[in-house]
Amino acid sequence: MTILDTLAAFFDVAGRTGAPRIVINGAILYGLWQGLARAGFAQSERTRIWAAVAVPLLAWFALIWLLALTEAFRVFPLLLPLSIFAPVVVGLVLIIRSRRIAAALDAMPPSWLVGLQVYRVFGGAFLVQLALGNLSPVFALPAGTGDVLVGVLALPVAFYLARHERSGRALAVGWNLLGILDLLTAITLGFLASTGRLGGAPRPLVYPLLMVPAFGVPLSFILHGVSLWQLKRRARRGGIARQVGSPMAVNTPA
């Protein structure tokens, strides 16, 4: 068995068991719980807020997993774009409108949401399938390389942001934009490749790799959006604090 075969088997087992996605969801919910605790919510209210996020998140994950297992995405092709964009729009709107989630994010270190996306290194599965000849290089090469790059950079950026938040915000914003660009590129090229518009016969994704665009992509979009929102809120709060602490602000009449 070659190294490529070993890597392909590893990614296949990880994808079929859902272990990485389960760990990611667990990390998100653990971070939310800690953020709510830091924000000072009482135990009962913290539990209600946490459950209001946990139940839809896990239900969404279970639904996409079931649809992928039953080949519903192959039977109903429009399900895939719907599964990518609908959760992003609905999720971000609900999150940004929630004052309680905002309070939890204000209490959480911004480095956490950045470092969490180290899981993007699992995009290396696309490169492995490319090397085995199972995916179009026009799609798999930029999609896999971009994902791995974003995942590899996640921890260094998070570490720098944790040590130097004020100067690290611009770096974190750039990393988030790179991650979003990677996702948009993968979606666009994936659509073109699956319809044969990039040349050659269409090669639709199959389970378990299908879970990446169906669940991993919209989840990453949401995490990038929330991270950018958190960074913006912290920058604004830092600017207000500096204004309040300046002599000009103190001497200005109310």
Query: pTM for this one?
Result: 0.92
On whether residue 250 sits in a domain, the answer given is no
Q: pLDDT 10s per residue in the chain (254 long)?
A: 799 999 999 999 999 999 999 999 999 999 999 999 999 999 999 999 999 999 999 999 999 999 999 989 999 989 999 999 999 999 999 999 999 999 999 999 999 999 999 999 999 999 999 999 888 888 899 999 999 999 999 999 999 999 999 999 999 999 999 999 999 999 999 888 777 776 655 667 889 999 999 999 999 999 999 999 999 999 988 755 555 554 433 333 32
Written as one string, the DSSP assignment of 82-149 is HHHHHHHHHHHHHHHT-HHHHHHHHHS-THHHHHHGGGGGGGHHHHHHHHTT-S-HHHHHHHHHHHHH
Residue 205 in any domain: the answer is yes
In a domain, residue 239? The reply is no
Q: Examine residue 130 and state whether it is found in any structural domain, yes or no.
A: yes
Residue 109 lies in a domain: yes
- 165 inside domain: yes
Range of the domain at 95: 3-232
**225 is written with which tokens?**
């959006």
Using left for φ > 0, alpha for ψ between -120 and 50, and beta otherwise, residue 68 falls in: alpha
* Helices 137-163 and 124-131, packing angle to 10 deg: 150
Q: Is residue 249 part of a domain?
A: no
**Assigned domain for 244 exists:** no
Domain count, the chain: 1
